[in-house]
Amino acid sequence: MSNHSEERYEDSQLYRIRHSAAHIMAQAVLEYYPEAKYTIGPPIENGFYYDFDLPQPITNEDLEKIEKRMRQIIAGGHPFVKEVVSAEEARQIFKDQPYKLELIQGLEQGGFDEYGNPLDTKPEISIYKHDTFVDLCRGPHVENTRQINPSAIKLMSIAGAYWRGDEKNKMLTRIYGTAWRTAQELEEYLAMLEEARKRDHRKLGKELEIFIYDDEVGPGLPLWLPNGGIMIEELERLAKEMEEKAGYLRVRTPHVTKEDLFIRSGHLPYYAESMYPPMELEGVRYYVKPMNCPMHHKIFASKPRSYRDLPIRLAEYGTCYRYEKSGELFGLMRVRSMQMNDAHIYCAEEQFEQEFMGVIDLYKKYFELFGIQKYVMRLSLHAKAGLGKKYVDNERLWLKTEDMVRRAMTNGGVPFVEAQDEAAFYGPKIDVQIWSAIGREFTLATNQVDFAVPERFDLKFVNKDGVEETPLCIHRAPLSTHERMIGFLIEHYAGAFPVWLCPEQVRVIPITDAQNEYASQIAAQLRAEGIRVNVDTGAERMNAKIRQAQLMKVPYMLVVGNNEMASGTVSLRMRDGSQQNSIPLGEFLARIKERIAKRSSEL
């Protein structure tokens, strides 16, 4: 976990190495393609990229020669030299580079930095030079190219990217690379990527028959197959058990609602671009819901509330719809239809800390259950410049609620980091970053404070003095959405889920047809005890049946032949390859039931 004193990536030597490597790559590309127009090349997590407008397509084979030239440039020991210039001087330097000229205009007007990101203040215009290359850049960089290890860089892939991420703009060629301090770090990263490819939830999701996409249904709209449906049911069962213990009340709300509701909540002004367009019926405009909050507010407002009723915790696994851009859709991680582990907690201000930290504790219980050992809680704050545009215009309440969250986390002893300009439009939040078993980072869940919308809905409760107050609202989704959570779990477990979560928990494998009836009797006994079991009565040999069960990551295989049938036993073969011969069925049944009841990760 992280804390306040952790070095920011932007301040690290690794950031400088990657930023400098991006410039070196751009130099090499321009040497091979002098007519190319170059745009931006930022460091990113685990590497860097640069976008080019190239006169001809580039191939993976071309990356090899570019990479070779990069190593030659590095060996030259060229210093990186910064120079502050005027806008007019910058235009002269980049007079043949239209994308740079556009960025210079943004810098001159004070609205955008050299990457096209919005700015609060007007920046200086600076360039960085090394060898024959010059770029519009604020840095930072290494002092000279020899501070980059030539054996710790690698160009990774080629992709398309719209200029400034806008589909209306020209499609550019993006070259991704990675750079590390040592060759060993690079080797470890490449090994992690190879493992990640094997665990890719899109690949495993299809192979394990969990979900599919279909062009006639539409992008970002997953179809859950029976195995996926079972996993969803298990996650919902888990959430319901945990939430019932914590005093949540379950509600249900419709998938569509009138436009007026989202105007009142403020979602339409702030969130319209992420919503599906409205449909009009009988002169009334309706939207499919992108979130459940406004309807939960209506449920809270359905009758008078007293301080004695609070806190009220309303939970729903509601399906929401958000129009993510086509280029941002990614497997189950970025979708347009999502089933959200949603809940809203309505509480008095003096109850806030206990309720907020109760949600954090729920996160931690889930992390322990799923074996998530590395995570970061990020306090996402507002930016004053965004008030009235990106954020509700109430600086006093922003500062007050941000301090309330900060104090709750500190008092609870939970480490966190802070991030500016990442809040929800109605209040600060804790965003949760988690890492899978192989070190891949995922944004999973949020715990959000809402100081604005309850007042818009005129939500009230009568306090101890008989005076009406507006409650605070906490929005929380510890298990994220079914889509993102299952996508994460597929990669985290490489498809080898704990027994309780497995779509198929047991496969009974008769050695010959003579044991088919005995195998079916065993399956019937297990099924009667709530175990998910199938029988493989196919014509294949036993070893082929075992291989097929292993491919489907079935945790337990019960192999039965004449000996087992005569003794009323089973031979147990487990997913990890270990086995026990001729054990009583009752012994196995007790074992699997105990694993399921405890939601154990053990076989």
DSSP string spanning 247-261? T-EE----SEEEHHH
How confident is the model at residue 8, as a pLDDT? Answer: 75
398 contact partners, CB below 8 Å, separation of at least 6: 381, 382, 387, 391, 392, 423, 427, 428
Residue % of the chain over a pLDDT of 90: 82
Q: How confident is the model at residue 1 (pLDDT cuts 50, 70, 90)?
A: very low
Residue 376: left (phi > 0), alpha (psi -120 to 50), or beta?
beta
Whether domain 499-597 has CATH 3.40.50.300: the reply is no
Q: How confident is the model at residue 2 (pLDDT cuts 50, 70, 90)?
A: very low
Q: Which residues of 150-181 are buried (b: 16+ CB within 10 A; e: fewer)?
A: bebbbbbeeeebbbbeeeeeeebbbbbbbbbe
| CA separation for the pair 340, 336 (Å, rounded) | 12
Break the chain down into helix, strand, coil percent, rounded to 5. Answer: 40, 25, 35
pLDDT at 4 over 70: no
| CA separation for the pair 390, 399 (Å, rounded) | 16
The CB density around residue 198, as the number of other CB atoms within 10 Å, is 12
pLDDT at 419 over 50: yes
How confident is the model at residue 123, as a pLDDT? Answer: 75
Domain boundaries along the sequence of the chain: 9-182, 206-253+293-493, 499-597
- The string of DSSP codes covering 315-380 is EEEEEEE----GGG-BTTTB-SEEEEEEEEEEE-GGGHHHHHHHHHHHHHHHHHHHT---EEEEEE
Q: How confident is the model at residue 515 (pLDDT cuts 50, 70, 90)?
A: very high
How confident is the model at residue 309, as a pLDDT? Answer: 97
| CA separation for the pair 160, 537 (Å, rounded) | 48
How confident is the model at residue 117, as a pLDDT? Answer: 67
| CA separation for the pair 520, 12 (Å, rounded) | 62
Residue with tokens 């590497």: 47
Rounded alpha-carbon distances, angstroms, from residue 231 to 216, 238, 482, 500, 508: 25, 11, 9, 9, 21
Read off the pLDDT of each residue in 468-480 and give the average, rounded to a whole number: 94
- pLDDT tens digits, 502-513: 999 999 999 999
How confident is the model at residue 91, as a pLDDT? Answer: 96
- pLDDT tens digits, 517-551: 999 999 999 999 999 999 999 999 999 999 999 99
Paired tokens of 225 = 């197959």
Read off the pLDDT of each residue in 264-288 and give the average, rounded to a whole number: 89
Cβ–Cβ under 8 Å, residues 102 and 111: no
Q: Which residues of 570-598 are buried (b: 16+ CB within 10 A; e: fewer)?
A: bbbbebeeeeeeeeebeebbebbeebbee
Cβ–Cβ under 8 Å, residues 20 and 145: yes
The three-class DSSP label of residue 577 is: coil
Q: Which residues of 203-229 are buried (b: 16+ CB within 10 A; e: fewer)?
A: ebbeebebbebeeeeeebebebbebbe
**Which of 7-21, 462-476, 495-509, 536-550 is least confident?**
7-21
How confident is the model at residue 558, as a pLDDT? Answer: 97
Of residues 271 and 522, more confidently modeled = 522
CATH superfamily of 9-182: Threonyl-trna Synthetase; Chain A, domain 2 (3.30.980.10)
Cβ–Cβ under 8 Å, residues 473 and 345: yes
CA 541 to the chain's CA centroid: 42
The mean of the pLDDT values for the chain is 93
Q: How confident is the model at residue 261 (pLDDT cuts 50, 70, 90)?
A: very high
Query: How is domain 206-253+293-493 classified at the architecture level of CATH?
Result: 2-Layer Sandwich (3.30)
Paired tokens of 420 = 């500016």
Q: Which residues of 397-411 are buried (b: 16+ CB within 10 A; e: fewer)?
A: bbeebbebbeebbee
How confident is the model at residue 119, as a pLDDT? Answer: 62
- pLDDT tens digits, 75-132: 999 999 999 999 999 999 999 999 999 999 988 887 666 666 666 667 789 999 999 9
CA 67 to the chain's CA centroid: 31
pLDDT at 446 over 90: no
